[in-house]
Structure 1
Amino acid sequence: MPTATLYRSRQLRTSMSDAERKLWNRVRKRQIMRAKFRRQHIIAPYIVDFACIEHSLIIELDGGQHDERSYRDALRTKYLSNLGWRVVRFWNFEVFENMSGVLDAISSLLAPPS
């Protein structure tokens, strides 16, 4: 039986922000470094914006409301990091103003260590 978190994850997939939609169109279907991303992925008790399981990478997009939630975001990041995930955050405006920089940053995180 689906949980409330699963229902919320499905709801978030259908109501993505403009920034999330724009980035999703660039990372879906293995467009970056052949990495598969999932959107609104559940890593209990959280739902993350984008996750690449094979590279243990989470991408979070932050809007203006995150200024007020920085402490909670830090706790969330610490929790996810303790599970072995690398968490990278971008501001929504970065997706709109500097998509190539965002994609370059993601690519560098997916590249094998040299």
Structure 2
Amino acid sequence: MPIIRQTMRNVILKEKDWKMVVVAPNTHFHFPIAMVRVIVPGAMSEDKVFIPLEGIFKEFPADKFEFVLGAAEGLDPKGKVVSVSLNNGGAKREIGYDALIIATGAAARDDGEDSREAP
């Protein structure tokens, strides 16, 4: 999230016709490494590990920044279009781009029922 704000402030807002569109499948960012601290009384509050994404970007004008709640499902590099499945009932949206950054994040590995065994 800091890189988005830095890019907005130092690049996008300074350019006349540029806009950043962020596509994310969740309304909140969660900080998995800190999650265990939330269950220890007094160690950390939930607002430090579940951060609402939309509130973070309210400082940016709508003509310069857009948050799209959905999942990118397809990419057409020749046409410079990303296909997005929106979270509001599965509607689809095509988002054009001039430059594209793919930041998929991280996910925990699930090896099945007994993940204690070495692979």
TM-score with structure 1 length normalisation?
0.31
Larger helix fraction of residues: 1
Q: Pick the structure with greater CA Rg.
A: 2
Q: Which has the higher strand share?
A: 2
